[in-house]
Amino acid sequence: MVPSKKVVRKLATIKDIAEQAGVSSSTVSRVLNYDDTLSVGDDTKKRIFEVAEALDYTKYQKKQSKKQGKLAIVQWYTEKEELDDLYYLSIRLGVEKRAEEMNYDIIRVFQNTDFEMSAEIEGIIAIGKFSDSQVNKLTSWTENICFVDFDQLHRKLDSVVIDFEQAVNAVLDYFQTHGQRRIGLIAGQENFGDKSKTIIDKRTIIYENYMKQVELYEEEIVFTGAFNVSSGQELMKHAIETLKDDLPKAFFVSNDSMAIGCLRALQEAGISVPERVSLIGFNDISVAKYIYPTLSTVKVHTELMGETGFDLWLDKVTSERTVAKKITLSTDLILRESTK
């Protein structure tokens, strides 16, 4: 994975987003910066985030002229949780974009949505992580299913995933080659929607293995919480208070939402980024380009993940393929202002 110093595609402006979302530029700016003093409804936030993600996407292809069928998109998050971690919102929009191009009607199913499978629904694209019992329930409804961001090949189910090892190693290699050998981790941890089990994040495992291999692992510079802005802010605040002058000069943060919170905590403490602390996030959500300093991050091609999930699902439906496929997508390291 070769680091990229520039993002070539023209960046949509705050004004562009405001015009399409039907709100003021100041509201857009405050929403994208997760300003918790702003009193605005979740529907407005959702509209702004969806417009910001959509403007970051490639142009639509020409649509099919004839209606093709109906597809259920099952999201492992609630609608509220989706706003706190735009990664899964972005994947969903990628699926919906391709479905619209192919003229499929979609039904959105969130974790807190009552849903019953019907004969008119041809299949399911499941986004996120699901417990064994949840997977069993989904597969009892239909064999035409594809999981996105969840490897289920061992169950002979189609899956679209990213290469986490390539991505995390690239971040740690970058810090190492730039003289930042003591690298902290702001990690995320989740539970399945049915609360049956805690999910150990792959990024944490890969980070730990890498740092132990180069004999630089320190448990005291690893901080774990939820994948959202407020958790990132609290974790970095805790790191600053406990480590004081021993605060690492570099942090890998497991997603961009947490990294935005980390930036806020560092700024509140008067710690300059990247002069004193460098940060690299993960996902490259649209917001990463609108905050200050702009966020260095691992770009996960979420639009392509969604599109690939739809294409893989459609291939199974139309070809009656019985052999499961897994597609692994690469990532890119995007360097912006939060790193030296």
Residue 24 has pLDDT above 90, yes or no: no
Q: Which of the following CATH numbers is that of domain 164-300: 3.40.50.2300, 3.30.930.10, 3.40.50.1110, 3.50.50.60?
A: 3.40.50.2300
pLDDT per residue over 299-321, tens digit each? 999 999 999 999 999 999 999 89
Is the distance from CB of 340 to CB of 12 less than 8 angstroms? no
Q: Which of 45-59, 72-86, 158-172, 218-232 has the lowest mean pLDDT?
A: 45-59
Map residue 185 onto helix, strand or coil: strand
- Whether the model clears a pTM of 0.75, i.e. scores above it, the answer is yes
Nearest to 48 by CA among 19, 77, 73, 76: 19
Contact 34, 83 (CB under 8 A): no
Whether 227 and 185 have beta carbons less than 8 Å apart is answered as no
Classified by CATH at the fold level, domain 69-161+302-329 comes out as Rossmann fold (3.40.50)
Region 230-240: what's the mean pLDDT? 98
Helix (H) or strand (E) holding 55: helix 42-55
**Fold agreement between 69-161+302-329 and 164-300:** yes
Q: Domain residue spans in the chain?
A: 69-161+302-329, 164-300
Considering the chain, what is the average pLDDT of its residues?
91
Tell me how far CA of residue 258 lies from CA of 32, 75, 188, 279, 327, in angstroms: 14, 21, 8, 11, 27
Confidence at residue 171, expressed as pLDDT on a 0 to 100 scale:
99
